[in-house]
Structure 1
Amino acid sequence: MFRDNGPDEGGFDSGTGTAHQDAVWPYYLTWGISMPFAYWSILIAALLPLIIIGYAKAGSRDNSAPRDSAENLSGAKRRAYAAHQNAFESFPFYAVSVVAALNFGASATTVSVLAALYLAFRIAHALLYIADKSSLRSAAYAGGLFANIAIFLSPALKINFF
């Protein structure tokens, strides 16, 4: 399915579907399941918008029309709502990029590192959006986009950091 450092190099063995005891960083975050961190990062990226909206809607008592209540948000909570929407907008390309890269032969370690970088940029983007730091927010957005493009292109360009 995908390639990475084999058992002799301390990585993921796609033949047996296991991470080896001496595996490097991305495999320590698999919680005992033989799945690279890059796949787990899809779950984290999917949950990120829900965490952001939790902040935006904290203290709101109107749950009968939750989408309509967004119009009443202001300041940081309104910006959090916008960050929530942006996180949903960026998710499909990210999820497809990770799955495609790993299925077309990209190094699972490289994709996992790029995935962690993407998540860091997306979290920074949300925090900077809420804090109303527009220039830094745009830089974080661009960083996340470039990390995502690198993930997508990693099998074609043979990007391998490790």
Structure 2
Amino acid sequence: MTVAEFCVFGVVALYLLTIVPVKWIGYRKYDNAKPRDPAFYEDAIRARALGAHLNGIEAFPFFAAAVLLAEFRLGPQHLIDELAVLFLIVRIAYVFTYLGNRPRLRSILWNIGFTINVAIFFLPAIRGYLPG
């Protein structure tokens, strides 16, 4: 497996790890029979953790598709790997800014992450223009 493929798994783990601790810490109020109960997410940090979790689910398909398509279309593997690691780092920072209630920085990081995905996606198309 490539580094980029491990990063795909890392992005899945990240969006799961974003919400699981909040549920564990609030286990006395969390009801697994009603996992989407809005009352549980009335607390600000829980609401932000849920938002970060849902955004992670939304961001995952494009990232996974970009990585797999770039690899299948024989994009430069070292660049795919480097950009995938960078995307994972940006997503980790994104989660922290979401939890820390830093909306402007969070939006900047989201845009950086999206740009990285676009770059991964188009690597095979521009590989002829890249240096050795």
Contact 1:55 1:77 (8 Å CA) reproduced: no
Aligned with residue 85 of structure 1, among 54, 64, 74: 54
Q: Secondary structure at the match of 1:64?
A: coil
Pairwise CA distance, 1:63: 1.3
Pairwise CA distance, 1:121: 0.9
Pairwise CA distance, 1:60: 2.3
Percent identity of equivalent pairs: 34
Aligned ranges for residues 66-85 of structure 1 at < 5 Å?
66-68=35-37, 70-73=38-41, 74-85=43-54
For the pair shown, the structure with the greater C-alpha radius of gyration is: 1
Kindly indicate whether residue 26 of structure 2 is the aligned counterpart of residue 59 of structure 1: yes
Pairwise CA distance, 1:160: 4.7
Aligned ranges for residues 4-153 of structure 1 at < 5 Å?
35-57=1-23, 58-61=25-28, 62-68=31-37, 70-73=38-41, 74-153=43-122
- Deviating 4+ runs (over 3 angstroms): 159-162
> Which amino acid in structure 2 is aligned with residue 111 of structure 1?
I
CA distance in 1, matches of 2:39, 2:81: 38
Structure 1 residues 46 and 72: CA distance shift in structure 2, 3 A = same
Contact 2:40 2:46 (8 Å CA) reproduced: no
Q: Secondary structure at the match of 1:65?
A: coil
Q: TM-score normalised to the size of structure 1?
A: 0.73
> Which amino acid in structure 1 is aligned with residue 123 of structure 2?
S
Structure 1 residues 76 and 37: CA distance shift in structure 2, 3 A = same
Contact 1:49 1:84 (8 Å CA) reproduced: yes
Aligned alpha-carbon RMSD (Å) = 1.6
Between 48-57 and 70-79, the greater mean CA deviation after superposition? 70-79
| Structure 2: tracts of 5 or more residues without a match | none
Deviation readout 1:86-131 (Å, 9 max, x if unpaired): 0000100110000000010101110000001101111111110110
Kindly indicate whether residue 121 of structure 2 is the aligned counterpart of residue 155 of structure 1: no
Q: Secondary structure at the match of 1:143?
A: helix
CA distance in 2, matches of 1:36, 1:160: 21
Pairwise CA distance, 1:64: 1.3
User: Per chain length, whose mean CA-contact separation is higher, i.e. which structure has more relative contact order (CA < 8 Å, sep 6+)?
Assistant: 2
